[in-house]
Structure 1
Amino acid sequence: MSLPRTPLRHRTVLAAGLAVLALSLAACGPRSATPTASATAGPGSTTAPTATTTPAPASTPGSTGPDGVPPVIRADSCRLRVDAMTPAERAGQLVMVGHQVGEDPAATAALVKRQDLGSVILMGTSKAGVTSVRQMTDAIRAGAGRDGLVVAVDQEGGQVRRLSGTGFTAMPSAADQGKLSTTRLADDARTWGKELHRAGIDVDLAPVADVVPADRVAVNEPIARYGRGFGSDPAAVSGSVRAFVSGLRSGGTGTAVKHFPGLGQVVGNTDFATGVTDDRTVRHDPLLAPFGAAIGAGTDMVMISSARYTRIDAQQPALWSPVVIGQMLRGDLGWHGVVVSDDLGVAAQVQSVAPGERAVRFVRAGGDIAITVDPTLADDMVTGLADTAAHDPAFDRQVRDSALRVLEMKAGRGLAGCSAG
């Protein structure tokens, strides 16, 4: 999601007449009691960092290793769990649905249970404090099955801050965070990570790694206008991104860096405008460096922008582009972990495509988790993914690979009832 609407980024649809609220963009197994290590991107210069915390793609049943010997797979392996799932269960793991803070969490828990959804994103704002938020996330998590649930939130700081109140300390905007030393920022982020962990949040859809060049600050709507970026120097932004990711993870909360390959050079906001286009960014752009910094620091997910990048792929917006996801992110940057979309629910940029097809195009391009902040679209997305997989063997393999990445990410955070590897 790109920017705040209430004043934040994601948006949510409230009911059948449905008013779009929030801002733009651009998760039941046991929770670990001890902290372990919310929307994205990576360096596009000459070096491509290697992700060290993410699994390789799934192998098909009966496959062998390079030496011709079948791989040894543990009985509790996430790989076996994915193979045992129904097509609908696999599809459910690939959809993140919005829950509006203040609404009945039991309704969201029921939706999670009915569709075997893999993740939830909190929308709106709460000033009720850590204890109240924990009660809400526990209630939502009650709907999750053996495959666990990721609960995510946009908690960037400043205007894009969903949660506050007793137990949550002050969290300045990224623009102000970028003025801190990296040591101080990492220390502060560790505190924020502990607070979110206590509130039942698994992944923060943050930090924003988008670099807004000095000559775009005055016109950039999604990032600069709201102080959501760390600055205009890619090296300095990389340091802040690395500090935020490592700090938050040391506090027990995962991260989803966003919005690859960057919203720093656009003018419009994809939440409210159609045809948002970047005609500057190139495939190996130096401004992509902060995304690589996040990968090197161990981010859990990378979020993809819904803008169109004409000098990279003029045919498709980034979240439907195999060039952006497959060749750049997974190829150039070596990212083999979870790729999450910007909002595919109410964002203006995607409204010309049917909801189910939005999710299918995202996974086909190499993505894993499709976000819809409008919970009424979850059924369409799950059905679209499952039905397409049933009739397209190549797409079915992609769904299986994506479901494996999602489950192994959860297992690494103590959320899934299976083991990675």
Structure 2
Amino acid sequence: MSRINTVARSTIRMAVPTALWVSGALALCAALAIRTPYLFSIRCWALAVVLCAGALGVALASCWLRKSRRPLGWLLLALCAAGPVVALAMEGRFLLQKQRVLANREAMARDIGRHLMIGYGTLADVEPLAANGLIGGIFVTRSNIAARSAEGLRTDIARLQTLRREAGLPPLAIAADQEGGIVSRLSPPLTALPPIGTLADQPADQRRAAALTYGAIHGEELAALGVTVNFAPVVDLRTNNPTHSLDFGSQIARRAISDNPATVTEVALAYGEALRQAGVTPTLKHFPGLGGVVEDTHIIGATLHTPTDALERRDWRPFREILARLDAWLMVGHATLAAVDPLAPASLSRRVVGGLLRADWGYQGIIVTDDMTMGAVFNGGLCRGAVAALNAGVDILLVSYDWEQMFPALDCLIDAGRDGRLDSVALAQSRHRLDAIRLSAMRAAPP
């Protein structure tokens, strides 16, 4: 029995420091990520867990250090304390950036803020940003309408537009992501439609009419809420590429209309026309085409290796043909277009946005990025990415999933504006494009 007790005590003596090393390392990793999109959904309690785990770890490590007096004990104690210290530092830095943004009344803050379209948690979160001109638009999604009626969301949107009007500011752009199928962020209460790709199977003589009806349902329901922009249709081509094991978000094969460029163009054009008829602006996405990549840009970087001549013949035909015939926005995704700029995601590339789209294609409409909190961009630095996107010729930066990232993003952009790191020519051209659509919105807004 004595020997058993001795073995048990020895095992415990070994297990406790091992557990402390592991838990301390995990707490430190969580602390470093506390203000990243990866912990957004659990951020409300992750900080408390890190602080409690750190306090417990410090207490246990102190006891173990007193008993063992091993040299590594001090290192273990420091590791256990590092998690809470780093977490508080990260949180403190964020709160400082948030306070600087909310208190900023400079003209530059408004001038740069108009390029941001953000998601939000509650109406109270976004009211001061809207009233003070620190954003140009909002993105409404499932969390804004969950367990609520359509009337509740409509009232919120109307409230924000009233704040803008009272402040002498142009109306906010109100965007949604209502594609149909698996991406129907506002259904319910809005009508849940099957994937738009099902229309490709319709007889050729019925396809356009079916797409017009489909688009009319989306357009009328979105317009009734006060939504002015829909991030649809998807015009990426469906391919037979194998699905990446980490593709949890893109799933383009389930969202694409067809693998035939002509069919995609026909359906997407009719759908976009119906949205326009209802007063909602369509958005073609995701240039340069996610059908040709297997990685999920929500998580990691992705590269499109297809040569540009092949892309012009197939993947880009729907983009070019529809943009030539329809007043639509263009969403640029975060895949790297290797043939044009192998060093940067398309959304941040001056060669892609300013060169290919603006100069070569002659597209002078609104370009919006995919969500800037997606891993393909965020992992390279949100600040660097935001500056690069505006300098490339992008008009609107979407910050939707982890919407609180708008505070460090805007804080950084204001600093970049002061330091001369923002391209004044690109900003002036973008200002002209944004002024044009907002003047149109003000004319259409109710008195």
C-alpha RMSD over aligned residues: 2.7
**Match of residue 302 from structure 2:** 276
C-alpha distance after superposition, 1:200-240 (max 9, x if no partner): 10100111111123x32766946556621101011111111
User: Which of 118, 127, 131 is matched with 1:97 structurally?
Assistant: 118
Aligned pairs (5 A) from 1:116-155: 116-125=134-143, 126=145, 128-144=148-164, 145=167, 146-155=169-178
Write out aligned runs for 1:50-69 (5 A): none
Pick the structure with more helix per residue: 2
1:321 to 316, 324, 349: 349
SS at match of 1:156: strand
Please list every run of 5 or more consecutive structure 2 residues that lacks an aligned counterpart in the other structure.
1-36, 47-105
- Rounded to whole Å, the distance in 1 between the matches of 2:156 and 2:350 is 37
Indicate which of 188, 211, 223 corresponds to 1:197. 223
Which of 167, 183, 186 does residue 160 from structure 1 map onto?
183
Residue 108 of structure 1: aligned partner: 126
- 1:365 deviation in Å? 1.1
Shift of 1:179: 2.9
Superimposed CA distance per residue, residues 339-362 of structure 1 (whole angstroms, 9 cap, x where no aligned partner): 1001112x1112233323221110
Q: Secondary structure at the match of 1:270?
A: coil
Q: Is the 8 A contact 1:357 1:381 kept in 2?
A: no
Give the alignment partner of residue 367 of structure 1, picking from 394, 403, 419. 394
Structure 1, residues 5-25: CA drift from partner, whole Å, max 9, x if none?
xxxxx9993574589xxxxxx
1:412 aligns with 2:440: yes
What SS does the corresponding residue of 2:306 show, helix, strand or coil?
Answer: coil
Change (3 A) 1:106 1:281: farther
Structure label with greater radius of gyration? 2
Query: SS of 2:436's equivalent?
Result: helix
**380, 386, 404: which one pairs with 2:414?**
386
2:380 aligned partner: 353
Q: Distance in 1 between matches of 2:256 and 2:327?
A: 17
**What letter is aligned with 2:364?**
H
Q: 1:87 aligns with which of 86, 104, 108?
A: 108
Contact 1:149 1:415 in 2 (8 A): no
Whole-Å separation in 1 of the counterparts to 2:160 and 2:40: 18
Change (3 A) 1:354 1:223: closer
What CA distance in whole angstroms lies between the structure 2 residues aligned with 1:123 and 1:18?
23
Q: Compute the displacement of 1:263 (Å).
A: 0.3
Aligned residues: 336
Partner of 1:51: none
Q: Distance in 2 between matches of 1:87 and 1:12?
A: 31
C-alpha deviations, 1:37-75, integer Å up to 9, x for none? xxxxxxxxxxxxxxxxxxxxxxxxxxxxxxxxxxxxxxx
Give 5+ residue unaligned stretches, structure 1: 1-9, 20-84
Q: Per-residue deviation at 1:150?
A: 0.6
Aligned equivalent of 1:32 = none
